[in-house]
């Protein structure tokens, strides 16, 4: 079922289409295609993937705007576009979003396009697109996106741990400077305060720094 939002963007809500066995639901997909016939064909392929909402754009400009406003899980670009080179748009969206990106091109342009976009993680499929290749490519794209997202989350977790360790070490330095504690004494003090006050050692460290340095 299609509907338009206040900005005139076209959205397709998931209909009761039997999903293929073993397929997990995609949260949100953006299809950028200047060709209405190709758009219809892609929508038919996507219907079997149990997508929550599929958004469409008929130009690179509109697709770029929608990608900037909404976090898409997957972006499908059908070349050629009426207002920009599809491969350039794919690279741009790969840089600015965390979405998995698939680019449909003519079989003649497949190899040249792959050389341009492969290093950006864009998956290229030649037209006409077979169902088997489309679903296989889509699942590979999802797997790559999932792995990238996990790596990003792990990096964020590690960075947070590093930042917390810096604050705690800074608090130890405060105790050693202002209360003449040794490093082991400062460590035990932070742990005891955290236990007595029932707060984290990080929070104790922040309070100490706030008290003595500001």
pLDDT tens-digit series, residues 38-96:
999 999 888 876 667 889 999 999 999 999 999 998 999 999 999 999 999 999 999 99
Q: Are 133 and 139 in contact (CB under 8 A)?
A: no
CA distances in angstroms from 196 to 54, 185, 191, 206, 209, listed in the order given = 53, 16, 9, 16, 18
User: What pLDDT does residue 15 have?
Assistant: 40
55 bridge partner residues: 11, 30
Give every residue of the chain whose pLDDT is below 50, as ranges.
Answer: 1-4, 10-24
Q: Are 63 and 33 in contact (CB under 8 A)?
A: no
* 180 dihedral zone (left: phi>0; alpha: psi -120 to 50; beta): left
Domain 154-213: CATH architecture, name and number where available? Orthogonal Bundle (1.10)
In the chain, which segments carry CATH 3.40.50.2300? 2-129
Bridge pairing between strands 51-57 and 26-33: parallel
pTM: 0.63
Q: Are 65 and 58 in contact (CB under 8 A)?
A: no
DSSP per residue, 54-95: EEEESSHHHHHHHHHHS--SEEEEESPPSSS-HHHHHHHHHH
Q: Compute the distance between CA of residue 62 and CA of residue 20 in angstroms, rounded to an integer.
A: 31
Neighbours of 193 (CB within 10 A): 17
User: What pLDDT does residue 73 have?
Assistant: 87
Cβ burial 120-152 (10 Å sphere, 16+ → b, else e): ebbbbbbbebeeeebeebbeebbeebeeeeeee
User: What pLDDT does residue 183 have?
Assistant: 93
In the CATH scheme, what is the code of domain 2-129?
Answer: 3.40.50.2300
Q: Which residues contact 5 (CB under 8 A, 6 or more apart)?
A: 11
In the chain, which segments carry CATH 1.10.10.10? 154-213
């Amino acid at each position: 079922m299609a509907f338009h939002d206040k900005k005139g963007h076209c959205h397709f809500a998931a209909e009761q289409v039997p999903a293929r066995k073993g397929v997990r639901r995609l949260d949100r997909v953006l299809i950028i295609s200047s060709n209405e016939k190709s758009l219809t064909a892609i929508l038919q392929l996507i219907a079997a993937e149990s997508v929550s909402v599929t958004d469409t754009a008929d130009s690179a400009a509109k697709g770029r705007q929608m990608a900037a406003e909404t976090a898409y899980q997957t972006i499908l670009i059908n070349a050629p576009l009426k207002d920009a080179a599809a491969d350039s748009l794919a690279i741009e969206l790969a840089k600015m979003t965390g979405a998995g990106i698939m680019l449909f091109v003519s079989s003649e342009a497949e190899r040249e396009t792959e050389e341009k976009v492969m290093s950006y993680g864009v998956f290229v499929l030649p037209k006409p697109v077979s169902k088997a290749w489309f679903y296989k490519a889509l699942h590979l794209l999802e797997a790559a996106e999932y792995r990238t997202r996990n790596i990003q989350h792990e990096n964020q977790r590690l960075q947070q741990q590093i930042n917390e360790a810096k604050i705690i070490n800074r608090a130890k330095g405060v105790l050693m400077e202002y209360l003449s504690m040794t490093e082991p004494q400062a460590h035990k003090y932070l742990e005891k305060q955290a236990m007595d006050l029932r707060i984290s050692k990080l929070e104790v460290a922040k309070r100490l720094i706030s008290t003595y340095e500001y």
